[in-house]
Structure 1
Amino acid sequence: MIVFNDDGCIKCGACQGTCPTSAIEVTPNAIVHCDTCGEEPKCADVCPNGALKVEEYEIAEGISQARLVFNSILCDQCGKCEEVCPQETIKVTGTKLKEVEGFCVMCQKCVDICPVDVIGVPGVKEPAEYDLDLKGKGPVYIKDCVGCGTCVDPCPVGAITLDEVGSPVTVNDDCIRCGLCSQTCPWNAIFIAEKKPIKRTKEIKSFTFDSAKCIGCNTCVEACPGDFIAANSSSLTVAIPSVCAACSLCVNLCPVNALEIDVEWGEGSPVDAEGIGRDVEKCDFIGACANKCPTEAIRVVTKTGMSCPALVETDAEPSFTSCIRCGACASVCSNDALKVEQYEVTINGEAVARDRIAFNPSKCNQCGDCIEACPYDMIHKTENPKLPIAGFCTLCGQCLEACPEDALCYK
């Protein structure tokens, strides 16, 4: 049985690309794969013709494990195997000689190709352990950055700098903690507000190598963090993979531009994509939401020149600013007075979980670290002993009820 350590998975998709029977699907949230139902495959049990069978396979000396074998001649495409598959990997394709796919044959190609060794076989090769303890790492944590620069372009505020390809990136104070860099990083090297990101999807549209340009320097071979590129000593060229992490480090470092890669990225999900949504067309900058918010997590400058909830006059243009629950404040709180928690809200009649900021005033020592960490200058001290700091969103929904224009909603 093939096992995965999800914590260490970088979602590169190499395992999915190399699997000959399409038994692995890498999604932004998880790895879906045939686990042979704990070596008692249900698909084989229900197959009326014996097209799918369980076979004991010796994968190492003295170690045998169950694998699935498929006989195309016996398959009548009845679909019973697809119906019972608990992982939903089994699919009836209708393709001759490959009428069914999605079952594990224990070829171990996924184990061999994994660049971070988080795929294994119990008793033969255990998946690598991965320490993903982000507690205490702060609003921006960079570890083992390979300097590919993939995270630079997605940053909406230009806060990420790559001074030299192959050297770690730096993040400046303009960072708004949106998390797009972390979602994009091919090697799990950057984390925002101590959160494990849901990775963006990606597809390599083309990855080409011009052997006529190659000078056999092996820069790409040595630079590839996942050892995907192999040297071809007989011809002084290299062999590029059909699937990889798509970090483009090899392309950027090649001195003769012999490599080209085209990657299509899926949409990212910035931290403010979920929680409180605002319809810009409906918003009339009245300020009722800011005045109603019990934690002063909304700041509005009205069209009449009033700053709410402070209720002071200002020459600033009408604007709306709010806590987006990025968690930067919680990531620097040394006493756990601020925490990110999951909270259930109802959207279109369905209960869904969203992040909120929880605050325990008894633990707050008003050190001010959270104020400095907040990228929107929302967190601030107050004179209220029961609420010594304010500016964080608890998703209480009172702003939604207060808005006379129905411009706010859960999303």
Structure 2
Amino acid sequence: MTTHTEPRLLAHPAFVRFWLARLAGIMGNQMLMVAVAWHMYDLTSSPWDLGLVGLFQFVPALIMTLPAGHLADRLHRGRIFASCMFVQAVVALTLLSATVGHFASRELILGISVLLGLARAFQMPAQQALVPLLVPPSLLVRAVALSSTGMEIAVICGPALGGLLYVTGAANVYVCCTLLMLTASGLMLFVHYQHKPSHLAASWASLFAGVAFVWKHKLILGATSLDLFAVLLGGAVALLPIYARDILHTGPVGLGFLRAAPAVGALTMSLVLARWPMRRRVGKKLLMAVGLFGLATVVFGLSEYFWLSLLALVVTGATDCISVVTRNTLVQLETPDAMRGRVSAVNSIFIGASNQLGEFESGATAALWGPVGSVVVGGVGTMLVAGLWFRFFPALAQRDRMQSNTSTHP
């Protein structure tokens, strides 16, 4: 095993530009999410409206993700990513104008959420399917882990900086978001690779080929659906403004730290995985990590102490990182390149459902049971899902190594 992971990856300039673009883009997106959530709660003080922000992102993403995956197999994936970053920069500029002009409203934020959902629908398949084209297969596991490291750095810095800037005014957050997303879009225009349009995606008749591929390959189905049900039930991000203001009694700065806490754990774990990749019993470790994610979510839901809440969120981030790196690597290794865009689109549906639809689920159940009941029930449900997946998907639970000895490609 090489001890020079970073220099070997740095020898691939296209990957480095992509890494920096993701860093800037995700940081801007995370700052934007903090500002939008706090802005909405300031306007309405309604858990239901916080949930609607997630729902309004999810529905358009659900409708457009399969066509987006089809395009990711036909068009230049880097340019798709750059375009999505530019759209998000326009969204941030719109919110800046609304804040300065004093016409920000509940309806505007929900409309903006629709645009964010559309941008995410096209961004995710292109982004996920791009990494294997920028590095050789021998570096893929480490590239995925290092990409996760960059993402977690952004998710740490973005919310914390967003919370601090929000104290000085929402407009300052939106200015920074605009600059970061324009930077990401510009960097992606210089990510070059050998683009080969998939002949399997030559017609729109192949639109659902990714769904059929995932359904046929139970290991991929188990890995992707695990994220859907675990994060759908266990996600508490949408309720963080409520916890920050009404339970833990902190302001926007506290919200920023709460949003950043999972990324602290994820960053630490991604660095560990980049240096010491998992080699054996990867399926069992994946499911155990999801179970621990659920337990930490329960602890967060019950906590009334800011330090304990931060610690619990750090654990959720560390365990989620194990899940993300393992699932993404398995999916990429088990999918031929000609299918990666459409399979990544299916994966994006699961991720989007777990995140945006999970935010709606959290907001809706919080309106019925209160925020504590919503988070605790969701955490318990996540632990049950991890246990059930041992039985429902034995191919995933029994997977020993990342790279199988035999190909599963049709």
Question: Which TM-score bucket, shorter chain as reference?
Answer: under 0.3
Larger fraction in strand: 1
Structure 2 length normalisation: TM-score?
Answer: 0.24
Q: Relative contact order (C-alpha < 8 Å, sep 6+): which is higher?
A: 2
What TM-score, normalized by structure 1, do the two folds share? 0.24
Answer with 1 or 2: which has the greater Rg: 1
Q: Could you say which structure has the higher helix fraction?
A: 2
